[in-house]
Structure 1
Amino acid sequence: MPRILIVDDDPAIREVVRFALFRAGFEVLQAADGAAGLAAAHEALPDLIVLDVMLPEMDGTEMCRALRASGGPAASIPILFLSSRDDEVDRVVGLEIGGDDYLTKPFSPRELVARVRAVLRRSRPTRQEAAGEALRHGRLVLDPGTARVTWDGQEVVLTATEFGLLRTLLRRPGRVLNRDALMDGAYAVERIISDRTIDSHVRRLRAKFAALGAAPVETLPGFGYRLGPCE
């Protein structure tokens, strides 16, 4: 039973989300502020966090940054942001700092559950993948069975969406994929994703490899992205 952590300071919102997820078969944990949510994430290691942006003590973006920077097992927990603001800039910022999806209030509980399931599908290998071998391209290794990525033996901690993007590129190394093809491979449900959102995910993916002195993802302006030589 997947475990979901809800972090929201509004008891009414927490109850709506808790009830919807419980009915869908999830185990649910709750926290009322960002500091408590961060502690719960490290202690309980949930499968996904539903995180409100506006929180006391530590807001949702601060919590997300702290979690992603921790470097521990909690750093790669998928995050679904909840926010009352629907500006594209806010959505892009949320995704750029490490969020995997962004849902605005008011929301349909049914859509929330669908989004949670979609993010979990992206973060978990299928049975077929789990039984298969790791994907290798030079010094880059992606193991769908363990959801681990390494570069020259060093682990690269990715979010669920970043993992899906890299897996899509790694399945067709050297081929140019446009943004639509990348999102088809990274998202488990059909969604309308802006170009800025896709570019934000790729930018974060690149930054993580750049920290190791690597640049496996290449841009072809006007065409898309491809996985280049990884020697």
Structure 2
Amino acid sequence: MNAHVKHSGTTVMVVDDVPTNRYAMGAVLRRAGHDVVPVASAGEALSELDIRLRAGALPDVALVDIGLPDMSGFELCRRVKSRPSTAALPVVHFSATAVDAKDRCRGLDVGADGYLTVPAEPREIQAIVQAAVRRARRRTAAEALAHRLTLLAEAIVTVQTARCLSELADAAAAGAARLTGTPAVVFVIGPDGEAHHGTSRSRLALSDAAPHQAAARLITRIAGRRGGVHGTVVPAVLWPTGHFRPGVQEDAHLLLASAQEGRAWVCIATPADAPRRHAAPPVARLAQATALAAEPLLMYQAEREVALTLQHSFLPQPHRLPELPGVDLVVRYVPASRQAEIGGDFYAALRTRDGVLTAVGDVVGHSLDAATVMVEIRHALRAYSVEQSDPRALAERLDRMLTHYHPEVTATVCLVLADPGSGQVRIANAGHIPPVLVRDAGGAEYVPVDGPLLGLALDRPEPTELVLEPGDRLLMVTDGLIETRGVDLATSMEQLRAAAVGAPGGLDALCDTLLACFGHDREDDIAMLALRLG
């Protein structure tokens, strides 16, 4: 058995127990330019295939005699074809005695690719070997293409479902790595030059932002104003070290794509020394799909920045809250951690002729429209409260305003009117989480107050009245603090109440404790307001 694997030309394994036959067949094949691996039995053939499989160099075709001593050529073919690692190896049977149609049919039944009657003319032997090799290579190429197209389709689906630009870049990098079999880095560069990058490597490798910033600047210069898809190679001296492999300086192959000329660019970067003849077209398609997917995300990011600017500019900052004699007040506002979300959450604290009016609310939906309606509701509340401070009346006027100007929008709000002198509190609720009353004497409970959402034009119940004792704290929150997908809201509300019971004294401590318990990685904005009568 020959354990030394050669790699010159087409390799043919000849399996025959008769030495003179092996020699004659081998001589014909060598004269035709093939490398020959002669073996004397089926067992020896299987062992040789195992050796060559580990070395990554299977023969291109096997010529197998039917009458082998340890098992028939039919059985050897069946075993070769039944193993996934060797199933693609073409097998051609030959025989000087088993030449009937039933023998040929039996060979085809076990998976053989051809049948040769010997003795045969050298040209016939050569033609059959070449035909078997061609069919196998075409089949292998077709399977490889199908595999690449499957990987491409999966990558494009993942790219198209990305919720933000960083997630998009990561998805494209993972897809490119699977297509090329190499590390990949993807950059999404917006029209303002802001770059988002993703990698097929561990996130631990991205702690240093400087190499990515340098690469993004280089890509921007290379891209220029050209549209479409084009590729280029960047020498290692210009490409940041360690981008693909830690500590390694190497040339980079860049594929750049733009959905609209000059608006935004996607760059898929892989090591330039990697074979890419077959992978280049699918990677180019992936780059195009990523560029198309980036367009709406870039537009949404711009919309979100406008919405956040609106939210932050129209919500009073904690250090600029109005002076409210007799009332201690603390507010918190935390934007959604997930970039794909824009909330319509708001809070307000106003001085009226009948006491202090506080409100926490949320416009249903996540968009620039929701943020805009939030601003309108908050300003309407300020205007209405000049003449009217009763929570129920205010809720009714806000409801009429919303149904008149925004009939397709609904919102929730909780309104609290507190008299610092008497401790009397009136609360109206429009579909919002009720306030939590944290008693100074111990314990916490939700105030029993409810009512329909704003925007439904429904009758509203009378406000709930209670008295705040000195030291009692009233907490108002939006559902972004506790709402978790797959968890019943009643369960989350009970968890909030229990956490409020265990919170330290003081308004700041109460809010900070609850944010520490519930405020991580939330999908919606969080607004909180806590008050205590002084």
Which range, TM-score by smaller chain? Answer: 0.5 to 0.7
Matched, 1:103 2:100: no
Deviation (angstroms), 1:27: 0.7
Aligned twin of 1:2: 10
Does the alignment pair 1:18 with 2:50?
no
- Give the aligned partner of residue 115 of structure 1: 128
Map of 1:76 onto structure 2 = 88
Structure 1 residue 144: deviation in Å?
2.9
CA distance in 1, matches of 2:79, 2:92: 15
Distance 1:148 1:80, change over 3 A: farther
Q: Deviations over 1:18-68 (max 9, x none)?
A: 011101111110110111012212322111000001101122111111111
Per the alignment, residue 48 of structure 2 pairs with 40
What's the counterpart of residue 166 of structure 1? none
For 2:90 and 2:127, the matched residues in 1 are separated by: 14
Q: Secondary structure at the match of 1:144?
A: helix
- The answer to whether the 8 Å contact 1:69/1:75 transfers is yes
- Structure 1 counterpart of 2:62, from 41, 44, 49: 49
Specify the code of the residue in structure 2 equivalent to 1:144: A
- Does structure 2 conserve the Cα–Cα contact (< 8 Å) formed by 1:124 and 1:147? no
Aligned to 1:162: none
Shift of 1:146: 5.8
Q: Which has the higher contact order (CA 8 A, sep 6+)?
A: 1
For each residue in 1:201-231, what CA deviation from the matched residue of structure 2 results, as whole angstroms up to 9, or x when unmatched?
xxxxxxxxxxxxxxxxxxxxxxxxxxxxxxx
Structure 1 pair 27–67 and aligned structure 2 pair: CA distance change class (3 A): same
Cα distance, 1:110 vs structure 2? 2.2
Aligned partners of 2:63 and 2:140: how far apart in 1? 26
After the TM superposition, which residues 52-201 of structure 1 pair with which residues of structure 2 at under 5 Å, given as runs?
52-72=65-85, 74-84=86-96, 85-125=98-138, 144=141, 147=144
SS at structure 1 position matched to 2:64 = strand
Normalising by structure 1, what TM-score?
Answer: 0.54
- CA RMSD between the two structures: 2.3
Which letter maps to 2:134? R
Q: How many residues align?
A: 136
The DSSP-based 3-state class of the residue aligned with 2:38 is strand
The equivalent residue for 2:36 is 28
Looking at structure 2, the residues matched to 96 and 148 of structure 1 have their Cα atoms a distance apart, in angstroms, of 27
User: Whole-Å Cα distance in 2 between the matches of residues 147 and 121 of structure 1?
Assistant: 15
* C-alpha contact 1:6 1:29 (8 A) present in aligned 2: yes
State the AA in 2 paired with 1:89. Answer: K
Instruction: After superposition, give the CA deviation of every residue in 1:58-116 in whole Å (9 maximum; x if it has no partner).
Output: 221111111111121x2210011001221101101101101000011222222111110
Cα separation, partners in 2 of 1:49 and 1:143, compared to 1, 3 Å: closer
- What SS does the corresponding residue of 1:90 show, helix, strand or coil? helix
Cα distance change, pair 2–53 in 1 and its aligned pair in 2 (3 A): same
Residue 59 of structure 2 contacts residue 89 of structure 2 at CA under 8 Å; is this kept in 1? yes
Q: Kindly tell me: are residues 52 and 149 of structure 1, through their superposed partners in 2, closer, same or farther at Cα, counting changes over 3 Å?
A: farther
1:88/1:60 Cα in 2 relative to 1: closer, same or farther (>3 Å)? same
| TM-score, normalised by the number of residues in structure 2 | 0.24
Deviation at 1:14, TM superposition (A): 0.7
- Matched-pair contact (CA < 8 Å) for 1:123–1:147: no
Inter-partner Cα distance in structure 2 for 1:16 and 1:54 = 17
Contact 1:5–1:41 (8 Å) recurs in 2: no
Change (3 A) 1:149 1:36: farther
Distance 1:148 1:3 in 2: 24
SS in 2 for 1:76: coil
- Secondary structure (helix, strand or coil) at the match of 1:124 reads helix
Identity of aligned residues (%): 35
Partner Cα separation in structure 1 for residue 145 and residue 50 of structure 2: 19
Matches of 2:64 and 2:140 in 1, distance apart?
Answer: 28
SS of structure 1 residue aligned to 2:62: strand
C-alpha distance in 2 between matches for 1:37 and 1:143: 22
CA distance in 1, matches of 2:140, 2:62: 23
Preserved CA contact (<8 Å) 2:66 2:73: yes
- SS of the residue corresponding to residue 37 of structure 2 reads strand
Distance 2:100 2:145 in 1: 33
The 3 A distance-change label for structure 1 pair 35 and 143 is closer
Contact 1:143 1:149 (C-alpha < 8 Å) held by counterparts: no
| CA–CA separation in structure 1 for the residues paired with 2:145 and 2:45 | 25
